[in-house]
Amino acid sequence: MPNITEPKLISGNANKPLANAVARRMSMHRGMNVKPVDARVERFNDGEVFVEVFENVRGEDMFILQSTSRPANDNLMELLIIADALRRSSAQRITAVIPYFGYARQDRRMKARTPISAKLVANMLTGAGIERILTLDLHATQIQGFFDIPVDNLYASPVFALDVKSQFGDLSDVMVISPDVGGVSRARELAKRIGAPMAIVDKRREKAGEVAEMTVIGDVTGKRCIIVDDICDTAGTLCKAAEVLLEHGATEVHSYITHGVLSGPAIERVSNSVMKSLVITDSIQPTEAVKNCPNIRIVPTAPIFAQAILNIWSGTSVSSLFETNTLGPIYEGLYSTD
The number of angstroms, rounded, from the C-alpha of 311 to the middle of its chain's C-alpha atoms is: 19
Q: Is 29 annotated as a binding residue?
A: no
- Global pTM reads 0.93
Q: Is 114 annotated as a binding residue?
A: no
Q: 50 — phi, psi (to 5°)?
A: -125, 135
Q: Is 52 annotated as a binding residue?
A: no
Residues with Cβ within 8 Å of residue 318, at least 6 apart in sequence: 134, 152, 154, 308, 311, 312
Q: One digit per residue, pLDDT tens: the chain, 338 residues?
A: 445 468 999 999 999 999 999 999 999 887 778 889 999 999 999 999 999 999 999 999 999 999 999 999 999 999 999 999 999 999 999 999 999 999 999 999 988 999 999 999 999 999 999 999 999 999 998 999 999 999 999 999 999 999 999 999 899 999 999 998 888 999 999 999 999 999 999 876 655 555 557 889 999 999 999 999 999 999 988 999 999 999 999 999 999 999 999 999 999 999 999 999 999 999 999 999 999 999 999 999 999 999 999 999 999 999 988 887 888 888 876 765 44
Biggest CA-to-CA distance, the chain: 61
Q: Alpha-carbon distance 172 to 222, whole Å?
A: 11
pLDDT score, position 209: 53
DSSP 141: G
Which positions are catalytic?
203
Give Cα separations from 203 to 206, 293, 321 (angstroms). Answer: 10, 27, 33
* Radius of gyration (C-alpha) of the chain in whole angstroms: 20
Q: In sequence order, what E strands does the chain have?
A: 8-11, 39-43, 49-53, 61-65, 93-98, 132-136, 151-154, 174-178, 198-207, 210-217, 224-232, 252-260, 277-281, 296-299
pLDDT score, position 337: 44
Q: Is 74 annotated as a binding residue?
A: no
pLDDT score, position 50: 96
Q: Distance from first CA to last CA of the chain, Å, rounded?
A: 33
Q: What domains, with CATH codes, occur in the chain?
A: 8-155+302-330 (3.40.50.2020), 157-299 (3.40.50.2020)
Q: Is 105 annotated as a binding residue?
A: yes
